[in-house]
């Protein structure tokens, strides 16, 4: 389901304020209620020792996609913080870019349980490379 | 306990090959058997939306410190891969730099259980901001 | 997809050998390739301090369902061991019984990534109370 | 540091109300501020398929020890709930009994980060068999 223009604007402003996302070349590609998709190229400066995408890149976009999926369900004056996130790495991050799809498993007033799947895209084919599960904490800003 | 010059050289070459570590400005500051310390400045390009250190930076150095702690106990022809890592975030990453201290909890032929603590350093004071626990898988390269 | 009678027999013998499953009154209700379902009544002796199902019951059947989902994909002479399992608790275990549905996310020769969802059943209605994600390690017995 | 008699009484009443602890034969052996120790015999009804302590027993006492470590730091009218707990299994639970030592890593008003180590005791020797890290949520009862 579509989100309101105000919430979308808030999320896009938050994303733009994360300088790490710019460093990694990440873009926020899709948003709906309880769902967010972020992708990033595997830049020359984002590699691990074998030349594949670094797990920190996988974590960065997986965690952020889960966070914005949560934020899409929050009132306008709320922010969310990751309290814990576990990443299971399924396969090496080989290819041109990574795509993270985050979703809310269980919304809550005090805690939101989230999940993200991260895929490596090589020659147009997606491969599932990581599963993240975690907890977001809503914080009221007013 | 000190590690052999050959193992140290292997680890330093691996660290140098991780371009993500250079992007984040991270340095490998200390190595001994089962222990590794990595630190990084909180660069203008490593921030989350509130201007603090991004969790991906915390994850990056925490995970790598745990990985090299494991690698310090491995034979020369082995590599390690993270199979899973959970991060509990304890406090915001405020300050000048982050320091990650990784250690091996339980070495093993098939799996190595590791832990890292990450601290934010502000005005010379360390504050514990994250706890990581995870699993490394040894891989024989020959 | 159906599993072979030999593999099913092996799994049922393993389940029967887990005396903890009998203590908790658990039954293995369904098996197919990469999937297993285990349920248990919320017995008077399986409660936490508020009178709801104890998280150890939720963990017990969620972990076992994930383990047997993995074992359903293994050769006959293999066993699996849980190496790590994270449980996110979503809601209290109120009701008559719990049902755990485990599935394989990513099979592998060295490690198998698994997930389980646990539901509380009250008056015929299921409520999602826990999400487990973890890693199983295949062990060859011969 | 010692806890007040009122808090100790509250914790002991809570422990006694957990019928699962009685089913498993567990006892609350030690309490101080931010620390709790729980042990349990490896009963004939607490086994996995190979005849060792079931991971659900390890989880049960590890999680409870972490919970009571948290509760020892809370005001009298508070309860705590586990929101997430990850267990890394280090070695099989062989021996006569298991001992779990829980401690608070980071207290907080909204969330408490905890850790437990579980040991198997065989012929008077302790062996580290599991590491748990998790999050407790304080709940005000009044």
Chain C positions touching chain A (beta carbons under 8 Å): 86, 88, 90-91, 105-106, 113, 115, 128, 131, 133, 135
Q: Distance from CA of residue A50 to its chain's centroid?
A: 24
N-to-C CA span, chain D:
27
Q: Which of C50, C123, C58, C48 is nearest to C87 (CA)?
A: C58
Residue D126 belongs to domain with CATH number: 3.10.129.10
Tally C-beta pairs within 8 A across B and D: 34
The nearest alpha carbon in chain B to A82 belongs to B89
Residue D51: both structure tokens together: 């005849």
Q: Which of C106, C3, C120, C110 is nearest to C55 (CA)?
A: C120
> Are the CB atoms for C90 and A106 separated by under 8 Å?
yes
Percentage of residues in chain A having pLDDT higher than 70: 100
Asked if the model's pLDDT at residue B54 lies above 90, the reply is yes
The nearest alpha carbon in chain D to A138 belongs to D110
The DSSP call for residue B22 is: H
Q: Which residues contact A75 (CB under 8 A, 6 or more apart)?
A: none
Q: Residue C63 and residue D56: Cβ atoms within 8 Å?
A: yes
The nearest alpha carbon in chain A to D133 belongs to A84
Chain D positions touching chain C (beta carbons under 8 Å): 14-15, 17-20, 22-24, 44-51, 54-57, 59-60, 63, 79, 81-89
- Give D-chain residues touching C38 at CB under 8 angstroms: none
What distance in Å separates residue D32's CA from the closest CA in chain B? 22
Asked if the model's pLDDT at residue A142 lies above 90, the reply is no
Asked if the model's pLDDT at residue A125 lies above 90, the reply is yes
What pLDDT sits at residue D142? Answer: 83
Q: Where residue C95 falls among pLDDT bands split at 50, 70, 90?
A: very high
Q: Which residues contact D112 (CB under 8 A, 6 or more apart)?
A: D70, D73, D80, D104, D106, D135, D136, D137, D138
Chain D positions touching chain A (beta carbons under 8 Å): 83-84, 86, 110-111, 135, 137
Give residue-wise pLDDT tens across range D65-91: 999 999 999 999 999 999 999 999 999
User: What is the average per-residue pLDDT within C91-112?
Assistant: 97
Q: Residue C54 and residue D46: Cβ atoms within 8 Å?
A: no
Give residue-wise pLDDT tens across range C8-64: 999 999 999 999 999 999 999 999 999 999 999 999 999 999 999 999 999 999 999
Give residue-wise pLDDT tens across range B34-50: 999 999 999 999 999 99
Dist CA B102 CA B80 (whole Å):
14
Percentage of residues in chain B having pLDDT higher than 70: 100
The nearest alpha carbon in chain B to A92 belongs to B81
DSSP β-bridge partners for residue A84: A135, B88
Q: Which of B73, B74, B68, B59 is nearest to B17 (CA)?
A: B68
> Are the CB atoms for C95 and C89 separated by under 8 Å?
no
> Are the CB atoms for B80 and B138 separated by under 8 Å?
yes
What pLDDT sits at residue C88? Answer: 98
Q: Where residue B141 falls among pLDDT bands split at 50, 70, 90?
A: confident
Q: Distance from CA of residue A130 to its chain's centroid?
A: 12
**Is residue A20 helix, strand or coil?**
helix
* Residue C139: Cβ within 10 Å count: 12
What pLDDT sits at residue D141? Answer: 86
> Are the CB atoms for B64 and B14 separated by under 8 Å?
no
What pLDDT sits at residue C1? Answer: 81
Number of domains in chain A: 1
In this structure, the strands spanning A78-89 and B78-89 are antiparallel
* Residue D76: Cβ within 10 Å count: 11
Q: Where residue A91 falls among pLDDT bands split at 50, 70, 90?
A: very high
The nearest alpha carbon in chain A to C136 belongs to A88
Give residue-wise pLDDT tens across range C63-85: 999 999 999 999 999 999 999 99
Dist CA C53 CA C45 (whole Å):
9
Name the residue among C47, C59, C87 with its Cβ closest to that of D19: C47
Name the residue among D20, D23, D82 with its Cβ closest to that of C89: D82
Q: Residue A63 and residue B85: Cβ atoms within 8 Å?
A: no
> Are the CB atoms for D121 and D61 separated by under 8 Å?
no
Q: Residue A110 and residue D86: Cβ atoms within 8 Å?
A: no
Residues of chain D with pLDDT under 70: none
What distance in Å separates residue D23's CA from the closest CA in chain B? 30
The CA distances from residue D125 to B105, D103, D119, D128, in Å, are: 18, 22, 9, 10
Q: Residue A128: exposed, middle, or buried by beta-carbon count in 10 A (0-12, 13-18, 19+)?
A: middle
> Are the CB atoms for A121 and A96 separated by under 8 Å?
yes
Dist CA D116 CA D133 (whole Å):
7
Buried/exposed code over D109-140 (b: 16+ C-beta within 10 A; e: otherwise): eebbbbbbbbbbbeeeeeeebbbbbbbbbbee
Tally C-beta pairs within 8 A across A and B: 108
The DSSP call for residue C114 is: E
Mutation target to probe the B interface, by most B beta carbons within 10 A, among A22, A43, A45, A56 is A56
Dist CA D73 CA D101 (whole Å):
16
- Give B-chain residues touching A19 at CB under 8 angstroms: 44-47, 54
Chain D positions touching chain B (beta carbons under 8 Å): 86, 88, 90-91, 105-106, 113, 115, 128, 131, 133, 135
What distance in Å separates residue D60's CA from the closest CA in chain C? 5
Domain that holds residue A134: 5-140
Q: Where residue B59 falls among pLDDT bands split at 50, 70, 90?
A: very high
What pLDDT sits at residue B4? Answer: 94
The CA distances from residue A56 to A4, A28, A53, C63, in Å, are: 31, 17, 8, 28
Asked if the model's pLDDT at residue B97 lies above 90, the reply is yes
Mutation target to probe the A interface, by most A beta carbons within 10 A, among C133, C134, C137 is C133
Mutation target to probe the C interface, by most C beta carbons within 10 A, among D18, D48, D91, D94 is D48
What distance in Å separates residue B23's CA from the closest CA in chain D? 30
Asked if the model's pLDDT at residue C141 lies above 90, the reply is no
Q: Residue A105 and residue C113: Cβ atoms within 8 Å?
A: no
What distance in Å separates residue A59's CA from the closest CA in chain B? 6
């Amino acid at each position: 389901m579509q989100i309101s223009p105000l919430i979308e604007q808030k999320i896009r402003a938050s994303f733009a304020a994360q300088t790490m996302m710019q460093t990694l070349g990440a873009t926020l590609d899709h948003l709906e209620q309880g769902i967010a998709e972020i992708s990033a190229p595997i830049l020359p400066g984002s590699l691990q020792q074998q030349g594949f995408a670094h797990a920190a890149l996988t974590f960065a976009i997986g965690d952020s996609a889960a966070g914005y999926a949560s934020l899409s369900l929050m009132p306008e004056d709320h922010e969310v913080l990751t309290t814990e996130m576990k990443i299971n790495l399924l396969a090496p991050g080989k290819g041109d870019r990574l795509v993270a799809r985050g979703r809310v498993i269980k919304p809550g007033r005090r805690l939101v349980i989230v999940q993200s799947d991260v895929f490596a895209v090589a020659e147009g084919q997606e491969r599932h490379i990581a599963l993240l599960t975690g907890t977001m904490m809503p914080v009221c800003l007013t």
